[in-house]
């Protein structure tokens, strides 16, 4: 347990991704089964300690600590788990059992007995270990480590491709002994039923202007680029599951889709919300995404559907090796055989030249708010990852606005001594109100100049944040703007980045809040 506690602390406090990976690699190669498998389950959010809930931990502590003192402490620390770890008042002899034994103990203790058992464990733990113990028991880590990072460490440790690991991942269960045996070359790749698992997605590259000369439009097909989230529907004999692009299962949030889908296949498409397949804004979709479990009212107001654009398995048959055109024919035939209420086919756009398609793209953006178009090689098989020359995205031109720098914050990792996170705003009457925050889009050299400017123009400091004189103008590029109750300006930008630093432009000439209305879709 001590080893795991040290790992969690390092992961929580080390800003460098490379160092996190190194620590994970070392942990997974040095710690034996089944403890390492339990650690992997904790880090990927797959571990479920069913009976231990935050409320139970809190009650266990309140039996030992005065309620008022606990409340004052919680108020100060701000995090329930950490408050519990820090405040536990008893110390007992002995060492904590290993991770797997610990989880086993928690899962096999009766509810009535849990407070006593947890109290005993907290007393035996050193302070660092208490923190890890609480994190483990409640399953909420919040230490800035994604499941993907843990899997990346496994890939680096074994030399096996991350995609291969992701292919089998969803058919595996903690403590993953068969996975580790495979990674260490001691066993074959675990045999998984494809109808129950996620298959890594094929991704696109942005198209550059110079690419068009080399590409013959007759070799390509085009579709709208939809503004939803990419999903994979795995429809097998056991039922239907829906996964996000990173392989997280999101079926529980979208029962309206999952329960109404019929047939067997693995499909690739875009999750959207709207009535009668009329897609609404990403903002509306987000309301559904924010819910772990769907609510009836929301499902009525914002019904979800999937606009399907590819097929990976037709029934049981793996069709990924076929070219796009052949897969498209399969997909259309599959739809004809399996009528759907919450799945529809993505339309193929007719065009004969790149200019044609360019016109369509502009029109789609202006009239329907489409994000752009996808361009797919007709002969390309379905290959996971981002193979060059197969799929392209041609986004519509970004919107730009001239905004004034308001606050700057220190960055993380290599940038921690630089002010590299910028909040900017536009004029509302005589004041400037914030509309967004960006931390990329500039060169290292520009970062140094900005850092220097910020230090010389600071008017106030709040912890790591500096307020600056409202004098510097950024040309900010962004994909779209939305109404937002969270910002004082009432506007929020999607994917903002610094396009240019307008050292020359007076702040008085920056945009006004009224100008933003044109962008709000």
Partner 1 sequence: MGFLIDRDLYIPAIDAWIDPPDPRPRAIITHGHADHARSGHGAVLATPDTVEIMKVRYGEDCAGEFQKLEFGKPLDIDGTEVTFFPAGHILGSAQVLIEAKGQRVVVTGDYKRLPDRTAQPFEPVSCDLLVTEATFGLPVFQHPDPRDEIARLLKSVVAQPERSHLVGCYALGKAQRVIALLRDAGWDKPIYLHGAMIRLCELYQSLGVDLGELIPATGMPKPAMAGQIVIAPPSAIRDRWSRRFPDPVVCQASGWMSVKQRARQALVELPLVISDHCDWGELNTSILESTAETVWVTHGREDALVYWCRQQGLDAEPLALPGLDDDGGEGGE
| Interface residue list for partner 1 (CB under 8 A) | 9, 12-15, 65-66, 68-70, 72-73, 76-79, 82-83, 86-87, 89, 127, 131, 410, 412, 416-417, 463-464
Half-sphere exposure of 214 (CA within 13 A, CB side): 6
Q: How far is the CB of 10 from partner 1 (least distance, A)?
A: 9
Residues 6+ away with beta carbon under 8 Å from 293 = 252, 253
Q: Which is nearer to partner 1, 174 or 411 (CB)?
A: 411
Q: Which is nearer to partner 1, 78 or 339 (CB)?
A: 78
Q: How far is the CB of 12 from partner 1 (least distance, A)?
A: 6
Is the four-CA dihedral 323, 324, 325, 327 of positive or negative sign?
A: positive
Going by C-alpha positions, the residue among 14, 2, 138, 42 that lies closest to residue 83 is: 138
Give 3-state DSSP helix, strand, coil % of the chain, rounded to 5. 40, 25, 35
* Per-residue CA distances from 155 to 33, 124, 200, 325 (Å): 18, 35, 15, 33
Going by C-alpha positions, the residue among 479, 486, 487 that lies closest to residue 521 is: 479
Q: Which is nearer to partner 1, 89 or 385 (CB)?
A: 89
Residues 6+ away with beta carbon under 8 Å from 239 = 258
Q: How far is the CB of 455 from partner 1 (least distance, A)?
A: 8
Q: Which is nearer to partner 1, 464 or 506 (CB)?
A: 464
Q: Are 360 and 351 in contact (CB under 8 A)?
A: yes
Q: Which is nearer to partner 1, 287 or 416 (CB)?
A: 416
Q: How far is the CB of 13 from partner 1 (least distance, A)?
A: 5
Q: Which is nearer to partner 1, 73 or 244 (CB)?
A: 73
Half-sphere exposure of 91 (CA within 13 A, CB side): 3
* Per-residue CA distances from 349 to 175, 346, 360 (Å): 48, 9, 9
Q: Which is nearer to partner 1, 105 or 143 (CB)?
A: 143
Q: How far is the CB of 87 from partner 1 (least distance, A)?
A: 5
Q: How far is the CB of 74 from partner 1 (least distance, A)?
A: 9
**Buried b or exposed e, range 66-81, using 16+ CB within 10 angstroms:** eeeebeebbeeeeebb
Q: How far is the CB of 446 from partner 1 (least distance, A)?
A: 17
Q: How far is the CB of 405 from partner 1 (least distance, A)?
A: 19
| Matching residue, tokens 């904590």 | 96
Going by C-alpha positions, the residue among 241, 260, 262, 255 that lies closest to residue 288 is: 255
Q: Which is nearer to partner 1, 49 or 77 (CB)?
A: 77
């Amino acid at each position: 347990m001590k080893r795991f506690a040290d790992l969690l602390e390092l992961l929580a406090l080390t800003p460098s991704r490379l160092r996190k990976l190194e620590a994970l690699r070392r942990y997974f190669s040095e710690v034996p089964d089944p403890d390492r498998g339990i650690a992997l389950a904790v880090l990927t959010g797959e571990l479920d300690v069913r009976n231990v809930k935050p409320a139970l931990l809190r009650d266990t502590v309140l039996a030992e600590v005065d309620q008022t003192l606990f409340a004052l402490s919680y108020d100060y620390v701000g995090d329930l788990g950490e408050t519990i770890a820090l405040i536990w008042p008893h110390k007992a002899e002995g060492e904590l059992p290993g991770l797997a034994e610990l989880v086993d103990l928690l899962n096999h203790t009766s509810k009535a007995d849990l407070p006593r058992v947890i109290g005993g464990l907290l007393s035996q733990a050193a302070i660092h270990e208490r923190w890890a113990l609480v994190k483990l028991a409640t399953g909420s880590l919040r230490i800035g480590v994604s499941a993907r990072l843990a899997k990346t460490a496994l890939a680096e440790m074994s030399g096996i491709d991350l995609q291969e690991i992701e292919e089998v991942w969803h058919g595996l269960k903690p403590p993953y002994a068969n996975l580790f045996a495979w990674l260490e070359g001691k066993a074959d790749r675990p045999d998984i039923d494809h109808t129950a698992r996620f298959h890594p997605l094929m991704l696109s590259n942005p198209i550059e202007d110079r690419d068009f000369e080399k590409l013959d439009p007759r070799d390509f097909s085009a579709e709208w680029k939809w503004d939803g989230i990419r999903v994979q529907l795995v429809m097998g004999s056991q039922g239907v599951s829906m996964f996000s692009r990173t392989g997280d299962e999101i079926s529980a949030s979208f029962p309206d889709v999952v329960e109404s889908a019929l047939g067997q296949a693995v499909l690739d498409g875009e999750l959207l919300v709207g009535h009668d397949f009329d897609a609404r804004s990403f903002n509306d979709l987000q309301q559904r995404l924010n819910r772990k479990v769907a609510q009836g009212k929301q499902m009525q107001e914002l019904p979800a559907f999937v606009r399907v654009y590819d097929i990976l398995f037709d029934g049981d048959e793996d069709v990924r090796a076929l070219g796009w055109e052949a897969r498209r024919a399969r997909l259309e035939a599959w739809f004809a055989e399996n009528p759907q209420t919450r799945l529809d086919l993505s339309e193929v756009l007719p065009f004969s030249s790149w200019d044609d398609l360019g016109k369509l793209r502009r029109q789609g953006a202006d009239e329907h708010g489409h994000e752009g178009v996808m361009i797919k090689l007709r002969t390309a098989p379905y290959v996971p990852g981002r193979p060059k020359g197969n799929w392209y995205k041609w986004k519509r031109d970004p919107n730009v606005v001239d905004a004034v720098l308001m606050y700057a914050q220190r960055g993380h990792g290599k940038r921690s001594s630089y002010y590299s996170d910028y909040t900017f705003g536009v004029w509302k009457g005589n004041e400037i109100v914030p509309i967004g925050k960006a931390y990329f889009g500039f060169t290292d050299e520009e970062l140094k100049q900005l850092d220097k400017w910020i230090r010389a123009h600071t008017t106030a400091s709040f912890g790591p944040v500096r307020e600056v004189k409202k004098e510097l103008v950024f040309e900010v590029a962004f994909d779209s703007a939305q109404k937002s109750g969270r910002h004082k300006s009432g506007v929020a930008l999607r994917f903002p980045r610094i396009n240019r630093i307008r050292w020359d432009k007076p702040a008085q000439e920056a945009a006004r809040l009224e100008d933003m209305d044109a962008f709000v879709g």
